[in-house]
């Protein structure tokens, strides 16, 4: 089904997702322009990770409409085999990077990056390795192709995870707190890659607590709470002049916590 909003990489209408009696996403409406970098912020349990998992097809939402990378899924109209086929197509166009690197320790960096294209897309070894080397160059790790994950720093492993996602040639990249497990001096390695991908026009959605990165790199910041988008706008507005009391309270508490840990 064609994308009804040509300028949008993601378009959500009334998205609902529940786990038992708990409604995690409560009728989300959202439109993300192609090539933009969007940052999601909000308290734990507000629905940020669930939203990413729905966008990637790892979770099936209960009601509403989602168009991502040109593929529309509507619930509950799409179900069974039709839903499974649509979700499979979504996963081929949307990459995701988690907090944990999830690299196979017994495989080299090159093998880790080529595995999904070969298994999921049926690519031959030569084509998959050629693209893998290109993606490793993008994240600055071409020289580590023959290394094993244990020989890499945390920042390097996360950059390999990004290269692995890029090797599937996604139209949208999702990140779930990709720097939370890293030493502070390694955080910039990963954030620099995201900024480079933004310059290449790849749509990116990032769950992060790196507010400095959000201020500098994001086109749009969304504040989620209770499964809803409470406030959204340019980072200069949301992060420095939030309009909603809930956003103001979250940012005050978050910044106070950061200062406390720094002390």
Q: Model confidence over 186-211: pLDDT tens digits?
A: 888 888 898 889 888 899 999 998 88
- Extract the residue ranges of the chain whose pLDDT is less than 70: 1-6, 255-263
CATH architecture of 8-262: 3-Layer(aba) Sandwich (3.40)
Q: Give residue limits of the domains in the chain.
A: 8-262
Q: What pLDDT is recorded for position 256?
A: 62
pLDDT, position 220: 96
Note the pLDDT of residue 111: 97
Decide if 66 contacts 55 (C-beta within 8 A): yes
Residue 6 confidence (pLDDT): 52
What pLDDT, on a 0 to 100 scale, did the predictor assign at position 242? 95
Per-residue pLDDT at 247? 95
Predicted local distance difference test score (pLDDT) of residue 263? 45
pTM for the structure as a whole: 0.89
Tokens of 34: 């192609």
């Amino acid at each position: 089904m064609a994308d009804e909003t040509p300028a949008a990489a993601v378009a959500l209408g009334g998205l609902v997702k529940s786990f038992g009696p708990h409604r995690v996403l409560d009728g989300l409406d959202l439109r993300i322009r192609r090539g933009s970098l969007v940052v999601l912020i909000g308290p734990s349990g507000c629905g940020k990770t669930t939203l990413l998992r729905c966008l990637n097809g790892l979770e099936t939402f209960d009601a509403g409409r989602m168009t991502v990378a040109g593929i529309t899924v509507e619930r509950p109209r799409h179900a069974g085999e039709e839903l499974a086929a649509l979700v499979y197509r979504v996963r081929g166009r949307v990459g995701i990077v988690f907090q944990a690197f999830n690299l196979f320790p017994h495989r080299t960096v090159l093998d880790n990056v080529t595995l999904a294209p070969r298994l999921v897309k049926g690519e031959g070894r030569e084509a998959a390795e050629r693209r893998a080397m290109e993606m490793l160059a993008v994240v600055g790790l071409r020289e580590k192709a023959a290394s094993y994950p244990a020989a890499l720093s945390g920042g390097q492993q996360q950059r390999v995870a990004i290269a692995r996602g890029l090797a599937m040639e996604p139209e949208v990249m999702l990140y779930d707190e990709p720097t939370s497990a890293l030493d502070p001096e390694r955080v910039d390695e990963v954030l620099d890659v995201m900024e480079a991908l933004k310059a290449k026009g790849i749509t990116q959605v990032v769950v992060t607590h790196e507010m400095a990165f959000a201020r500098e790199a994001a086109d749009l910041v969304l504040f989620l709470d209770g499964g809803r988008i409470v406030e959204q706008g340019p980072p200069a507005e949301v992060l420095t002049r939030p309009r909603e009391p809930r956003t103001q309270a979250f940012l005050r508490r978050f910044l106070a916590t950061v200062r406390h840990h720094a002390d």
